Amino acid sequence: MTIVTVARRVPEPIIGTCGVHYDGTFETFEANLDWLETTGMPVERFDPTTEPSEVATHPLIQQLLSADGDQCLPLILVNDAVVSRGAYPSRAQLARAVGRGRRTGREAGRSAA
């Protein structure tokens, strides 16, 4: 069974005179992870800054955080292999990473070469 593990820093909302504002990019990313879960894919998410015990259970994540710090976040693993680091992938990129998406013509051409 495919398992997706996501280590990401959850940004704090900005509270101003016009109300509370959330990081839209992060919110979209979280919605994409929610979507992935609705397809039956287990997704484990944690914030290394608030859940250090989770980091301890993932040696590769611990190693990358030690080497690169927060620069590698968000860090996405599929079956303990890094598929994305340091950027929020799109829904299509997440789907491809877990084998549920279609490859573009350019990607198909690269693998055929």
CATH number at residue 79: 3.40.30.10
The whole-angstrom separation of Cα 21 and Cα 23 is 7
Question: Quick one: pLDDT at residue 21?
Answer: 81
The phi and psi torsions of 16 (rounded to 5 degrees) equal -130, -170
pTM of the model: 0.82
Question: Is 3 within 8 Å of 78 (Cβ atoms)?
Answer: yes
Residue 52 has, within 13 A of its CA and on its CB side, a CA count of 2
Asked, for residue 83, whether it belongs to a domain, the answer is yes
Q: What is the pLDDT of residues 64-92, one digit of tens each?
A: 999 999 999 999 999 999 999 999 999 99
pLDDT for the residue numbered 110: 46
Domain that holds residue 70: 4-10+19-104
**What is the total count of domains within the chain?**
1
Residue 67 lies in a domain: yes
Cβ neighbour number for residue 27 with a 10 Å cutoff: 11
